[in-house]
Amino acid sequence: MSVFDPFEDFGDAEEIALRLADADPAVRRLAVIDLAEAASPDVLRHLLAAAGDSDASVRLQVAIALSDFGTADAAAGLAALVADADNGVARAAADSLAELKDAAAAPAVLPLATHESAFVRASAFRGLKGLRAPAALGPALAAMKDASAKVRAEALGVVAYLKREETLPSLIAATRDTDASVRAVAVNALSFTSQGAAATAVAAALDDENWQVRAAAAESLGRIGHASAIDDLTVGLADDYWQVRQKCLTALGRLKALPAVQEIAALLASDLPSLRKEAAAALGEIADPSTRDALTAHASDADPDVRKTVRWALTRIG
């Protein structure tokens, strides 16, 4: 009868590392996979050595493996791999950079902020974002003027995560960026502040040519909570896109927009149940008795969600 050890072994890093010298790149690659799963801290040294392997598939595996280590050393290894000549390796390294958690890793990544490749610069800011490192603020603000939209978007992310009132001018400028995805992030990012200038800039984005930016602006105005946006949001209720009209309704509800109740109530007659529901929800938030009759007229709406929301709104009015 046999006796067996039921436990997964923790892996001997030195023993596995011997296979990194094998002539076959597939064997070296498998050694990297095994190293990544070994529990001992000294595996990092071997992984960093393998980052210089001549075979791209081995370097790719190292780039993936390094996401498990949040240390500054691992970040330095990734900083080298993100500029790899092989696109697959570079992409994997960029993804691993985005997994960094420890602010101590920031110094290893910061030098990439001025790298000649736009992909590397963007990946650097993508990695720096979650670290919320104050040292990244300066380079990120500078990169918000980068020629590449991808770099501007990622740099904007770094600035937005730091939530500093003194960066408002840059964030506001980004709401007028030439790239729609940058503008959408910028209007979202301004929702951390209650400054009037932010509300004005975001309200202006309700006229953006891109409907996603307009929808994001409406959502953001609801969070900023500035009554000055009510007029613009009311105009937004006639937007060509129902998605934007819906977000404007939600925002007007959050702002308790008493002056807009008639325009909101008019949308209770919309063909789209989603808009009828959102209009009822907004009227419930505002709870103005003048809308009781309009709501009552829809208490038996054909759509159950609209019906429920109308009834809830009526209980709010009392």
Partner 1 sequence: MDDFVDGLSEVTCDVLVIGGGTAGPMAALKAKQKNPALNVVLLEKANVKRSGAISMGMDGLNNAVVPGYATPEQYTKEITIANDGIVDQAPVFKYAARCYDIIQELDRFGIRFQKDANGDFDLKKVHHLGTYVLPMPNGETVKKALYRQLKRERILISNRIMATRLLTAKDGRIAGAVAVNTRTAEFLVLRAKTVILCMGAAGRLGLPHSGYLFGTYENPTNSGDGYAMAYHAGAALANLECYQINPLIKDYNGPACAYVAGPFGAYTANAEGKRFIESDCWSGQMMQEFYNELQSGKGPVFLKLNHLHPDTVGEIADILHRVERPSRGRFHEARGTDYRERMIEMHISEIGFCSGHSASGVFVDEYARTTVSGLYAAGDMASVPHNYMLGAFTNGAVAGEHAAEVAQEIDLPDYDADFVRLERERILAPTRRTDGIPPNQLEYKARRLVNDYLQPPKVTARMQIGQARLAEVREDFDMALVARNAHELLRALEVSSILDCADMAAHASLYRTESRWGLYHNRVDYPEKDDENWFCHTLLRKVDGRMVSEKRAIQPYIVPIETEERTAYERLRVSNQA
Partner 2 sequence: MPLALSPTAVPVVVDEAKCIADKGCTVCVDVCPLDVLRISDLTSKAYMKFDECWYCMPCETDCPTGAVTVNIPYLLR
Least gap, CB of 87 to partner 2 (angstroms): 15
Rounded Cα distance between 242 and 248, Å, is 10
Name the one range near partner 2 by CB under 8 A: 22-30, 92-100, 134-142, 290-298: 22-30
Whether 295 and 283 have beta carbons less than 8 Å apart is answered as yes
Among 246, 253, 261, 286, binds partner 1 (CB under 8 A): 246
Among 241, 266, 290, 297, binds partner 1 (CB under 8 A): 241
Nearest Cα to Cα of residue 96 among 24, 45, 47: 47
309 makes contact with partner 1 (CB under 8 A): yes
> Which residues are CB-contacts of 264 (< 8 A; sequence separation ≥ 6)?
237, 249, 252, 257, 279, 282, 283, 286, 291
Q: How far are the Cα atoms of 10, 21, 36, 99, 198 from residue 39, in angstroms, in the given order?
A: 5, 21, 8, 19, 49
Burial of 147 per CB tally in 10 Å (0-12, 13-18, 19+): exposed
140 makes contact with partner 1 (CB under 8 A): no
Whichever of 63 and 182 has its CB closer to partner 2, that residue is: 63
Measured from the Cβ of residue 80, the count of other Cβ atoms closer than 10 Å reads 16
Name the one range near partner 1 by CB under 8 A: 18-26, 75-83, 104-112, 124-132: 124-132
From the list partner 2, partner 1, none, pick the one residue 248 interacts with, judged by a Cβ distance below 5 to 8 Å according to partner type. none
39 makes contact with partner 2 (CB under 8 A): no
Measured from the Cβ of residue 293, the count of other Cβ atoms closer than 10 Å reads 9
Among 117, 195, 274, 296, binds partner 1 (CB under 8 A): 274
Q: Which two tokens stand for residue 65?
A: 């493996």
Least gap, CB of 259 to partner 1 (angstroms): 25
192 makes contact with partner 1 (CB under 8 A): yes
Whether 53 and 61 have beta carbons less than 8 Å apart is answered as no
Task: Kindly identify the residues of this chain, within the stretch 50-109, that bind partner 2 according to CB under 8 A.
Answer: 57, 61
Rounded Cα distance between 244 and 128, Å, is 32
Name the one range near partner 2 by CB under 8 A: 24-32, 108-116, 209-217, 232-240: 24-32
Name the one range near partner 1 by CB under 8 A: 24-32, 53-61, 154-162, 254-262: 154-162
Q: How far are the Cα atoms of 41, 68, 86, 229 from residue 53, in angstroms, in the given order?
A: 21, 19, 12, 57
Least gap, CB of 186 to partner 1 (angstroms): 8
Nearest Cα to Cα of residue 180 among 204, 199, 198, 205: 205
From the list partner 2, partner 1, none, pick the one residue 189 interacts with, judged by a Cβ distance below 5 to 8 Å according to partner type. partner 1
Nearest Cα to Cα of residue 154 among 177, 116, 185: 185
Name the one range near partner 1 by CB under 8 A: 20-28, 114-122, 135-143, 297-305: 297-305
Whether 279 and 253 have beta carbons less than 8 Å apart is answered as no
Residues that bind partner 1 (CB under 8 A): 1-8, 10, 37, 39, 68, 99, 101, 129-130, 132, 157, 160-161, 163, 185-186, 188-189, 191-192, 211-212, 241, 243, 246, 272-274, 302-305, 308-309, 312
**Site residues (vs partner 2, CB under 8 A):** 24, 26-27, 29-30, 33, 57, 61
